[in-house]
Amino acid sequence: MSAVLERTPVAARTGPPGASWAAVLALALFEARRLLLRIPVLAAFALYVTWIVWRTPLLENGYPVLQDADRATQSGPLLIGLAVLVCVNQAVLRSRRRDTERHFAVLVLRPWQRTAAHALSAAPSALLVAVCVGAQYGWSALRPDAVGSGSPAELLVGPLTVLLAAAFGVLLARLFASVLAAPLTIVLLLFLSFGVAVPDASEERGVRWLLPVVSENAQQAIPSQLIDRPAAWHALYLLGLVLTLTLLAVLASGGRGRLLLGTVAGALALTLTSGITQTATLPDATTAARARATDAPQKEQTCVRRGGTTYCAFPEWMPRVGTWASVVDHVRSLTGGTVRERPLLVRQRVYATGGLTADGAIDPSATPGQVTVGTGWGGPRVPEFSAAVASVLVAGSERATVGVCDGRMVTTMWLALSWQPDPVKSLRAVRLDDSVTGSAIVLTPTNPLQMTAGQTYVVRQLLGKPRESVAAKVKAHWAELTAPNVTSAQAAELLGVKAPKEADKCD
């Protein structure tokens, strides 16, 4: 029993101006700590971090394009948002549920200030998500193989969805004094987003932008200036929504005053303006630029010469020239005749007409000595490009390889695969059905090639022999091996392996 009940110095007796806001902040900090320690939030963060660590190295075969990597950070925070929504909602309802409202109602901080504090209490969670987003994006961006440029506005979407979830949770608590309201609303939202109300996803702009996270079913990376997603407007729209929902919750818990109403109007105006702007139709300039990039990329590209080969690519991809050159040089070193010195043009081409979700094939180029490279790299993209280089060196042009069904396929595939660290693995990667026996489609950046079972049989035999001995035979017999209509049996004979039983026959 000490003298503590005597008058002790007091922190804030009479409220100086600003004390209320300082108290709101103190309450927000207190609630933020409790929020971060709630089991659903902890579990969500654990899963989120696991997901980042597991998925990020796999992004785009480890050769990330940063204008795609920024969007890849957007879906994970939804999980955090879900947990935050439920937990913030329960935190707001706590005093009512535990019957402390009778006491708290006569304390200095007014209900609307407590509401504001609850909405603010998600800020540290959002900040933590921002750190995770930064780490996830940074992981991709700091890779030496990364190309392109991300958009800060796309990176903001993750943290903003967490804040939005919190604001929504607070508003729900102020409108429905039941802890069941938030989970049921989430179920309803899930149903609406997965079940019915998916707005027409084929449309690039339009109402789908009203959803918090607008994902793209992207088939391939395209230059960043052609993406033209209204990311900044969308971030503003999310911010406006966060403010509007929070302020509505403040209003619902008794907040009044001209300043508050003015701010609500401002937030609403921001939400509406940015919301409508982002759904506006795609500018014609973008459509034109996309068409240009698809049909006449040479006007947009820069070129560089390495050895006997010229590399032309969209400026963002120029750092990749070195890796392409290493493939070209490897394949070239295995060839014979005049081909070793023949000039080659490696041109990057992309089907960008429909934007990110476009799924169009690139026509093979008719220009002799021109090889197409896509925007992706790593994994199967490497043997695919290698096959394209080999096929152009063997057949003369991409157009000339269309429908090739003779012994030249044997030489092409051996050139494409033999220099790779694990040729059979590369063979599996380059074939559409991931097989290493029988007939299959072989993918390249443009038109697919076809391998018969017999050609596969010969190529497998060649890959099992020492590369130098096969290379010597390839160089010695280059003219015969690359002559049109040479059969696979003849090629096998020239290269000193068993011939296939059946004749070359493609469907």
Partner 1 sequence: MRLTARESLVPVLRTLPWRALAAGGGLGLLLAGLLRWATGEFGGWPALTLLRTAALAYALTLTFVLDDPARHTVSTVPTRRALRTGLRLVLVTPATALWWMAVVLLVPSSLRPPVADVTLEAAAACAVALAAGALATRLTDEPRPGPSVAAAYLLTAVLTPLLPHRWALFVWPADKGWEAAHERWAWVLVGALVALALCMREPIRRRRAPIGRRPGTFAPSGGTPSGGV
Partner 2 sequence: MTPTVSASGLSLRYGGTRALDDVSLRLSPGVTGLLGPNGAGKTTLLRVLATSVPADSGAFTVLGHDPGTPAGRQEARRRLGYLPQTPGFHPDFTAFEFVDYVAILKEMTDRAVRHREVRAVLDGVDLSDVRGKRVKKLSGGMRQRVALAAALIGDPGFLVLDEPTVGLDPEQRMRFRELIAQAGEGRTVLLSTHQTEDVAMLCHRVLVMAGGRILFDGTPAELTARAAGRVWSSTERDPGAKAGWRTGTGSFRNVGSPPAGAELLEPTLEDGYLLTLDDAEVPA
Distance CA 315, CA 507 (A): 40
- CA 85 to CA 313: how far, in whole Å? 46
Q: Which is closer to partner 1, CB of 79 or CB of 352?
A: 79
Each residue 10-39 as x (binds partner 1 by CB under 8 A) or -, in order, gives -----------------------------x
Q: Which stretch of DSSP H or E encloses residue 451?
A: strand 449-451
Which listed option, partner 1, partner 2, none, makes contact with residue 492 (CB within 5 to 8 Å by class)? none
For residues 21-60, which are near partner 2 according to CB under 8 A?
22-23, 25-27, 30
Pull the structure tokens for residue 412. Answer: 């092409």
Q: What is the dihedral of CA 489, 493, 496, 500, to 10 degrees?
A: 20
Structure tokens at 383: 């043997």
Please give the residues from 92 up to 121 whose contact with partner 2 meets the rule CB under 8 A.
94-95, 98-110, 114
* Per-residue x/- track, 187-206, partner 1 (CB under 8 A): xx-xx--xxx----------
Q: What angle do CA 84, 85, 89 make, to 5 degrees?
A: 110
What is the rounded distance in angstroms from the CA atom of residue 185 to the CA atom of residue 303? Answer: 55
Residue 420 CA neighbour count, 13 Å, CB half? 25
List of residues 6+ apart from 310 with CB closer than 8 A = 303, 304, 343, 344, 345, 346
Should residue 285 be labelled a site residue for partner 2 when binding is judged by CB under 8 A? Answer: no
- Our CB check for partner 1 shows the closer of 3 and 39 to be 39
Residue 258 engages partner 2 in binding (rule: CB under 8 A): no
Stretch in the footprint of partner 1 (CB under 8 A) among 42-50, 67-75, 250-258, 336-344: 42-50
Indicate whether 474 belongs to the interface with partner 1 (CB under 8 A): no
Residue 191 site contact among partner 1, partner 2, none (CB < 5 to 8 Å, cut-off depends on kind): partner 1
Output 98 or 299, the one with its CB closest to partner 2: 98
Cα dihedral 355, 357, 358, 359, rounded to 10, equals: 160
Query: Is 150 in a helix, a strand, or coil?
Result: coil
Token pair, residue 484, equals 């049109």
Q: Does the protein bind partner 2 through residue 177 (CB under 8 A)?
A: no
Q: What is the DSSP letter of 486?
A: -
Whose Cβ is closer to partner 2: residue 98's or residue 501's? 98
Residues 6+ apart with CB under 8 A from 404: 391, 395, 412, 449, 450
**Total number of residues binding partner 2 (CB under 8 A)?**
38
Point out which residues bind partner 1 (CB under 8 A): 39-40, 43-44, 47, 79, 82-83, 86-87, 90, 97, 178-180, 183-184, 186-188, 190-191, 194-196
Point out which residues bind partner 2 (CB under 8 A): 1-2, 4-15, 19-20, 22-23, 25-27, 30, 94-95, 98-110, 114
